[in-house]
Amino acid sequence: MNAARRAPFLIVETGQPVDSLKRYGRFPHWIRVAAGLSAREVVEVNAERGEPLPVADGLAGVIVTGSAAFVTDRAEWSESTAGWLREAAQSGMPLLGICYGHQLLAHALGGQVDYNPAGRESGTVFIDLHPPAFEDPLFAAMPSRFAAHATHLQTVLRPPQGATVLARSEQDQCHAFRWGANAWGMQFHPEFATHHMRGYVNARADCLRRHGRCPRTVAREVSAAPQARQLLRRFVQHARGTAGRPGPA
């Protein structure tokens, strides 16, 4: 158990915040703080810039950040990262993909990612849980409906074979899924605070208008999402509890 607690978490960086929010640091910092991890408990790799991903052995778990990139562009770094995630998921490594990371994990495991026919989803949205979520290690203690922050154009249109869809929103039918015992994707951003979300609404104002939304209204309706934020700490607790256990045969 002591060895499991000492093992670091890998945060795979797949993109950068919008310029107006860079004063708050990069995505790995936002995630680390929200997850309650100290700097010494985390290893960061910038996959978008081509930094090599490590051997997964010895990691407590892996968290993949969001990005302004599109999975459907099939960038070389993205496809390489998808291959690494596929192997890690198949080994039983605890994984959590956030937004782009959620989509990339789904793609890696054979799901379909593309533009959401319902258009851009942005702002504080309400997440509704499907019945399987109430027996899920991360979502079981969550209320059936809770607020979360989201900003995305693409989505998981078809989850990977064998995945369990855990949550939806009004615009997105697959806001969270679990594959196997230890791999999760979340379309929403559990690491976002209200200032992050408002910053993204302002940065994507023109896109929101093109999709028939009023940026001022979306920004005004941004509210705290503490329950969604708790999911990061639950993932850390789950990963610490499974570290060192053998993966699927």
Pull the structure tokens for residue 127.
Answer: 């997440």
Sheet of strand 61-64: strand arrangement:
42-46, 9-13, 61-64, 95-98, 183-186, 176-179, 164-168, 121-129, 145-152
191: annotated active-site residue = yes
Q: Which of 175, 189, 196, 238 is catalytic?
A: 189
Taking a C-beta distance cutoff of 8 angstroms, is the pair 172, 154 a contact?
no
The residue type at 113: V
Taking a C-beta distance cutoff of 8 angstroms, is the pair 14, 48 a contact?
yes
Q: Which of 99, 102, 174, 175 is catalytic?
A: 99
Q: Which of 107, 130, 191, 238 is catalytic?
A: 191
207: annotated active-site residue = no
Q: What are phi and psi of 190, to 5 degrees?
A: -70, -20
87: annotated active-site residue = no
The residue type at 148: A
- Positions annotated as catalytic residues are 99, 189, 191
